[in-house]
Amino acid sequence: MKPTEFLDIPTITRKALREIPKSWNWLLKPEIQQFTNREIIQLNTLAILVGVLTGYAGIGFRYMIGAMQNLILYGQWDYHLISPMDHIRGYWMFLILPASLVVSTLLTKYFAPEARGHGIPEVIQSVWGRGGKIRKRIVALKALASSITIASGGSVGREGPIVQIGSAIGSSLGQLLHLKPAILKTLVGCGAAGAIASTFNTPIAGVIFAIEIIVLELKTKSFVPLVISSVFATVIARLYIGNEPAFFVPEHSLKSPNELIFYLFLGVLSGIVGVIVIKTLYGIEDFFDNLEIPFLFKPIIAGVIVAAIGMKFPHVLSVGYEAVSSVLQQKSELSLMLALVFLKMISMSVTLAGGGSGGVFSPSLYIGAMLGGSYGYVVHYFFPEMTSNYGAYALVGMAALFSATARATFTAIVILFEMTLDYSIILPLMFVCVTADQVAWFFSKDSIYSLKLRRSGIKFATDISVNVMSMTVIKDIMTTELHKAIGTMTIIETANKLLQHNHSIYPVVNEEGILTGLLTHEKLVQLSKKHPKALVSEVQQEAKAVVHMNDSAIDALAKIEKSRDPRILVVDSVKGKLVGVVSPIDFVRLNIE
C-alpha cells in the first residue's frame, strides 16, 4: 500500500482533493473521468456482439423450452412451443411437475445458486456489488434450469431468465477481455437491453428497462451501447419470429375525459394488488425456507400444488400468454379472470419458492391483464356508455401491475405500447401506470427486485439519479492489505515495524484480530521517544470512524460527518475483526469509475 492511502483529509470536498499529493494528480484529469476514444469504440463494437449473441440466445431459449416441452410431455423431439391449453392433462402432471422442480433445484443448488429464482435481482447485484462480474456458467445453467421449469408447466416467465442469460453474455465478454468495471457494467446492461428487446420485439423498451432497472444512469457513454445492443438483438429476433407485435388487440381509445376517473381507480387497485403480489411471493418463499424437511421435499410439495391448480386451471401453467391474449381480445369470463388473478399469484410464488427457475416479468403482466379485465368487465357492465370494453382495461392493467411490482413505470408504458402498437390507449396507459406506481410506493418502498436484494443484506435504490455511493458496499472498495499494531506489542517494537510505511494511522487489534483502537503516526513517533517500553494497548486512541463491511459507502461518509474523522476502519459484522480500511482516495476512485 502506498503512503497516500491514509491521507488525513477533513472532508471529501474539492478543497480536500487539492491536498492530495501530486502523485495522485492523474485522478483529477477530466479525460480519466470518462471513457477514452479507444474505449468508446471498443465498447460500441462489443455492444454489437452482445446484441447479436443475446438475440440468438433469446431465440435459442425459446426453442429450448419447446424442445423440453415436447420431450417431457410427448417423448418426441420438436422445438415448437406448445400452449399449456393444449397439454393433455392428467394425473401424470403430479409426477412431471415435482420431478422437473427437483431437477431444477439440484442444478441451481450444486452448480449455480444465483440461477435459482427470477434472475433480475442477481443481475442488479452483479452490477452494484461485484463490478459487473457474472459467472460464465450462468448462460448454460440458467437456460437449462428455466427451460425445464417452464416446459413442465412451472408458472413463471421466460423474460427474467433471458435477461440474466444476456447479461451473463455481456459480462463474460468483458471478463475475457479484462475490461475495467465501468465498461463491464455497461456490457451487462447491453445484455439486459438486448434480452428484453428480442423477447418482446420491443427495442425501445429494452433500452429503457436496462436504464431504469440495471444501470440506473442516463449518460451518453452507456446509452449509446445500450441502443446498439438492443437494435442488433431485435434484428436477430425478427429474422426468426418476424416483426409482429407480441399481442394483437382491437383498437381502443379513451371514450371521454370522464373515463379517466375509472382508470384512476384501476391504478389504485393495481398498486394495492402489486404490493400483495410482492408480499405473497416472499411470504411463500419464507414459508418454504422455514420448512424443517429435507430440501428435496420442497420442490416435490411445490410441484404437487402447482399441478393441482393446473388440473382445473391450465391457464396458470408456464408463461400463459395465450390466456392473456384471450382477455385482450375479450374472449374470457369474469369469474375466470378474477380467479386467475389469485391463482397465478400463488402458482408463480410456489413455483419459485419450491426451487423453480424463471421470471416474474410476464407473470406480472399476466396478473395485471386478469385484474384489469375483471375490473373493466364490471365497470363496463354498469357504465357501458362511459367506458371502453374490458379488453382496454386489461391492456392498461398489464402495464400498471408491472409498474407497481417493478417500479419501472417508464418501461411499463413503453413496453405495452411497443407490444401492441396501439397508440390510442396511451393517455390512460400513462395515467394508470404512474398512479399504480405511487400507490404501491405508499404501501411499500421495495419493488419485487429490490426486496430480494434487501433481504440478502444488499442496499438498492430504484432511482435513476441514485448516488453511486448509496449502491456500493464498503467491502467492494476497502483496502485489505493492512499494516496494523497488536495491543500486546511495545511501542518501540511497533515503531520499528510500522513507521517505515509512513501511514497517517495504524489500526490496533488484539491477538484475535479484533479491532481495539488506533495509533496516529505522530503519536507513535512521540511515544517511541518518550515511552518506548509502554504497551500499545495502554496508549492506543479510540477509533471513532468504524463501519461494517456490508455498510454502504454513503453510511461511511455519514460516519465521517458525525465523527469528523475521515479514517474509516472496517470490521466484520460478527466479532468485530478488522478486515479493511477505506481512505478518501477510495471514494475518489469510486466516483471516477
Cα angle vertex 366, ends 361, 372, to 5°? Answer: 125
Compute CA 271 distance to the chain's CA centroid, rounded to the nearest angstrom. 20
Q: How far apart are alpha carbons 509 and 580 in whole angstroms? A: 12
Reference 255, options 436, 415, 411, 376; nearest CA is: 376
Q: How far apart are alpha carbons 226 and 395 in whole angstroms? A: 27
pLDDT band at 35 (very low <50, low <70, confident <90, very high): low
Q: How far apart are alpha carbons 123 and 163 in whole angstroms? A: 8
Check pLDDT > 50 for residue 492.
yes
Compute the Cα dihedral for 302, 305, 311, 312 and give only its sign: negative
574 CB-near residues (< 8 Å, 6+ apart):
none
Reading the block at residue 60, the C-alpha cell is 435459442
Range of weakest confidence among 4-18, 109-123, 529-543: 4-18
pLDDT, residue 193, reads 94
Reference 540, options 486, 492, 503; nearest CA is: 486
- In this structure, which amino acid lies at residue 527? L
- In this structure, which amino acid lies at residue 578? L
pLDDT, residue 23, reads 36
pLDDT, residue 11, reads 42
Q: Are 114 and 138 in contact (CB under 8 A)?
A: yes
Alpha helices (H) along 5-76: 14-18, 37-74
Reference 519, options 535, 502, 542, 501; nearest CA is: 542
Check pLDDT > 50 for residue 36.
yes
Reading the block at residue 432, the C-alpha cell is 394508470
Range of weakest confidence among 80-94, 269-283, 415-429, 485-499: 80-94
Q: How far apart are alpha carbons 578 and 104 in whole angstroms? A: 39
Q: What is the mean pLDDT of residues 278-293?
A: 94
Range of weakest confidence among 144-148, 298-302, 520-524, 548-552: 548-552
- In this structure, which amino acid lies at residue 248? F
Using CB atoms within 10 Å of the CB of residue 508, give its burial: 0 to 12 exposed, 13 to 18 middle, 19+ buried: buried
pLDDT, residue 70, reads 80
Check pLDDT > 50 for residue 461.
yes
pLDDT, residue 14, reads 40
Kindly state the helix (H) or strand (E) to which residue 266 belongs, with its residue range.
Answer: helix 260-290
Q: What is the mean pLDDT of residues 275-298?
A: 94
pLDDT, residue 567, reads 67
Residue with cell 449455480: 112
Q: What is the mean pLDDT of residues 181-191?
A: 89
199 CB-near residues (< 8 Å, 6+ apart):
58, 158, 159, 162, 237
Reference 353, options 305, 401, 412, 422; nearest CA is: 305
pLDDT, residue 562, reads 65
pLDDT, residue 303, reads 94
Alpha helices (H) along 75-180: 93-110, 120-129, 138-151, 159-176
Sheet with 568-571, strands from edge to edge, namely 546-548, 568-571, 578-582
Instruction: Classify each residue of 309-325 as buried b or exposed e, where b means 16 or more C-beta atoms within 10 Å of its C-beta.
Output: bbeebbbbbbbbbebbb
Q: How far apart are alpha carbons 564 and 191 in whole angstroms? A: 43
Check pLDDT > 90 for residue 251.
no
Q: Are 320 and 343 in contact (CB under 8 A)?
A: no
Q: Are 388 and 255 in contact (CB under 8 A)?
A: yes
pLDDT band at 589 (very low <50, low <70, confident <90, very high): low
Q: What is the mean pLDDT of residues 283-293?
A: 93
End-to-end, the C-alpha distance of the chain in Å comes to 20
Distances (CA, A) of 32 to 26, 215, 505: 8, 20, 29
Percentage of the chain with pLDDT > 90? 38
pLDDT, residue 7, reads 38
Complete domains list, the chain, with CATH: 36-241 (1.10.3080.10), 259-465 (1.10.3080.10), 470-592 (3.10.580.10)
Q: What is the pTM (predicted TM-score) of this model? A: 0.76
Check pLDDT > 90 for residue 340.
yes
pLDDT, residue 225, reads 93
Neighbours of 564 (CB within 10 A): 10
Instruction: Classify each residue of 230-243 as buried b or exposed e, where b means 16 or more C-beta atoms within 10 Å of its C-beta.
Output: bbbbbbbbeeeeee
Give DSSP secondary structure letters for 386-407.
Answer: TS--HHHHHHHHHHHHHHHHH-
pLDDT, residue 587, reads 61
In whole numbers, what is the pLDDT of the chain averaged over residues? 82
| Residues paired with residue 356 on neighbouring β-strands, in sequence order | none
pLDDT band at 57 (very low <50, low <70, confident <90, very high): very high
Q: How far apart are alpha carbons 211 and 407 in whole angstroms? A: 13
Reference 263, options 417, 436, 419; nearest CA is: 436
Angle, helices 334-353/297-312, rounded to nearest 10 degrees: 170
Using CB atoms within 10 Å of the CB of residue 296, give its burial: 0 to 12 exposed, 13 to 18 middle, 19+ buried: middle
Range of weakest confidence among 57-66, 398-407, 455-464, 505-514: 455-464
| Residues paired with residue 535 on neighbouring β-strands, in sequence order | 490
345 CB-near residues (< 8 Å, 6+ apart):
276, 277, 280, 281, 363, 367
282 CB-near residues (< 8 Å, 6+ apart):
451, 452, 455
